[in-house]
A = this chain, B = another copy of it.
Amino acid sequence: MVGMDTAHLLVRVLDLVGAFVFAISGAMLGSRQGMDLFGVLVLAFVTAVFGGIVRDLLIGAIPPAAIASWHYLAVAMAAGLLTFWFHERLDRLRHPVLFFDAVGLGIFAVVGTQKALDAALNWPMAAVLGMISGVGGGMIRDVLAARTPVVLRSDIYAVAALAAGLVVVAGFYLELPESLVTLAGAATCVFLRMTAIYWNWRLPSVKPPE
């Protein structure tokens, strides 16, 4: 019981950490594109919560977690204001931001897959919904900035999220303890993502990106 509660608390905290990091990535793009403070905050919030909201709508968890409490809004506002004021310093923190972004991606993918499995979804779609939870925010961020989502044309990003979801699916059917599966899934995502960045792994494409 205590283990369960600790695991859930851990997931909750990590989920907000993920939202914070994603909000920063949204706010940085907004700042760079010359949006005003409000636009920056909107992009921060939307990037942080869009993936999870799509997942919740699709599995019928209404109102979505990111709407039902004000915590995500507060976290996104804090991240947005910090980025707005300190975006020049953040520009220099490229490597830590990439690392935390990978952590956020892993957490979102793991939590999303777990929620989808809890909602009795079939396992391939559960892993896909986990991936959507992870990459959805970045996609809407890029659409609102009127550019093709980078996730559709760049290095191993969504694939790392999908791998995390598949680890969760495997753990679910093997009935492994949830906190172990959470950690293993998120670690898989972070490892794949950081390795892909380090070695500059890319998926094949029909013609090379310009």
Contact = CB atoms under 8 A, between A and B. Distances in A.
Interface of A: 30-40, 42-43, 53, 57-60, 62-64, 67-70, 73-74, 84, 87, 119, 121-122, 124-125, 128-129, 139, 143-149, 151-154, 158-159, 202-210
A-B interface, 10 closest residue pairs, ranked by CB to CB distance from nearest: A39-B152, A36-B203, A60-B62, A31-B206, A70-B124, A36-B205, A37-B203, A146-B148, A34-B209, A35-B153
A67 B121 contact: yes
A144 B139 contact: yes
Given A30-B152, A35-B152, A38-B159, 7 more contacts: A31-B205, A34-B209, A36-B204, A42-B152, A43-B152, A58-B67, A73-B128
A203 to B, nearest CB: 4
Nearest to A30: B152
10 contacts: A33-B148, A33-B153, A39-B152, A43-B152, A53-B58, A58-B62, A58-B63, A67-B121, A73-B124, A144-B152
A65 to B, nearest CB: 11
Contacts of A158: 38, 42
A39 B151 CA distance: 7
B144 A149 contact: yes
Contacts of A119: 63
